[in-house]
Amino acid sequence: MTYPTNPIYKLVKDVTLSAIEGKDVINQVKIKPTSNSEKIIPFHEANTDYQEYLEWVAEGNTADPAD
Amino acid sequence: MSTLKVNAIRGTGASSDAISVNSTDGTCTANLTNPRSFRNLIINGGMQVAQRGSSSTSDGVHTVDRFAMGYGGENEAPTQAQHDLTSSDTGPWEKGFRNSFHITNGNQTGGAGAGDYAQIIYKIEAQDLANSGWNYTSTSSYITLSFWVKSSVAQTYYVRLNAEDASKAYSFAISVTTSWQKITKSIPGNSNLVVNEDNGCGLALYFIPFYGTNFTTSGHTNDSWITDSGSDQVTDMTSTWWTTNDATFEVTGVQLEVGDTATEFEHRLYGDELQRCKRYFQMYANSNGKYTGITAVYYTSTHIECMIRYEPEMRATPSLIQGSGSNYYGVYRDGNRDDFDSFSGLNASDHRGGSLYNNTAVNAVSGQVGAVILNSSSAYISFSAEI
């Protein structure tokens, strides 16, 4: 597939698990498919959006850091 | 009363038995073409359900549930649509179909490039195929694909099946005209086929209006399971459909069933199909000015958590897809309303549920609760676990 070049993916913190574990847990990533929509993708191996994200990372790209 | 004792019943002009009678145990095997329930492995094959909308130029699943449009190399994007059939759609209309999955080509001013393509994709969950009863490693065991198809450009098109767990593919040609016609194709098993019992893709179906030569060869082998090759997916195709502005290609009544006979399409109720579709996609809320059914709990004064549960449970942990814009969402609590643009993320989620949260725009008192409402006609909350 053709990935957008900019903006790209942005990592998202799981605030619940981060609070429970006392450290930042990054387990999702955000992308804006259109100007007025947003997709938040969990790091789950069977999720096909996550599989596309991993392909994008494998091509040498890096997501923006989480807030 | 008398008893008719036979071993088989066969039509006078037929080459095989319609009914084979077991001579000892009182049972028979019948080659039925009339309906039996739960035999169609395709969900939404009648194209009834379209949770996301009725028209889109995006690739992927964006209109008819479970069916995706794919394209590449375009000068102008094709349009996918859930298309309303009328009594003029002779054939499928009389068979009770009221919708089709419809592609309208864009204006491909650059002609047909080698890397250009347009396709319709349907992916069957592997465990559904593994448990279907098809003895897929046997060459004498069949699945049968049937569907209605029509195009504004009469030509030869191709259908391709990809058994992804085995990296094996099977393609066949279809001669499509400007009138609706029903295609049936029985496909045997193969000793090299593998279908995992998991939630991945067991079999992908491709209906192909056009593939450029990067994906085709003149010597491609049709009507046989062969090793999947990205550069040899079907026979070289004429580019007429791709180079015809606003050319159309549509399908409906897609059925895949175990056995070597195409039975009548298994019409299912809208509610039944919707429930099956929701394993892969759920439009949770999309009505402006309506409550979403979601309760927000103020975890802190500036952080809400909104517990949700997917019904039915989804194929995999889903992506959250939401509208995002100025004050699209609100929380009514304690006589006031907190507005925010979008949910910040989905916490501690799996395929059964999770918690939407926002920690950027809300402000109340920790421990308060409120009701989430949509403030915009462009606001929506959906979850996708498509294959």
* Chain A, chain B: beta-carbon pairs less than 8 Å apart: 76
Radius of gyration of chain A (CA): 12
Handedness of CA B344, B348, B349, B355 (dihedral sign): negative
A-chain residue closest to B299, CA distance: A16
pLDDT in tens, B224-267: 999 999 999 999 999 999 999 999 999 999 999 999 999 999 99
Which of B288, B327, B328, B346 to mutate to probe the A interface, most A CBs <10 Å? B346
Q: DSSP state, B386? A: -
Q: Do A17 and B348 touch (CB under 8 A)?
A: yes
User: What is the average per-residue pLDDT within B325-339?
Assistant: 95
Tell me what pLDDT residue A19 has: 84
Three-state SS for B22-72 is CCCCCCEEECCCCCCCCCCCCCCCCCCCCCCCCEECCCECCCCCCEEEEEE
For residue B296, what is the enclosing H or E element?
strand B291-300
Q: Do A14 and B303 touch (CB under 8 A)?
A: no
Nearest-angstrom CA–CA distance, B161 and B204:
6
Nearest-angstrom CA–CA distance, B50 and A46:
23
The interface predicted TM-score of the complex, written ipTM, equals 0.90
Please check the confidence at residue B76 and state whether its pLDDT lies above 90. yes
Q: How many residues does chain B have?
A: 387
User: What is the average per-residue pLDDT within B136-157?
Assistant: 98
Nearest-angstrom CA–CA distance, B223 and B169:
10
Nearest-angstrom CA–CA distance, B169 and B376:
46
pLDDT in tens, B271-309: 999 999 999 999 999 999 999 999 999 999 999 999 999
DSSP letter string, A21-55: HTS--EEEEEE-SSTTEEEEEE--TT-HHHHHHHH
User: What is the average per-residue pLDDT within B126-146?
Assistant: 97
CB B237 within 8 A of CB B208: yes
pLDDT in tens, B31-42: 877 657 789 999
Please check the confidence at residue A1 and state whether its pLDDT lies above 50. no
A48 touches chain B (CB under 8 A): yes
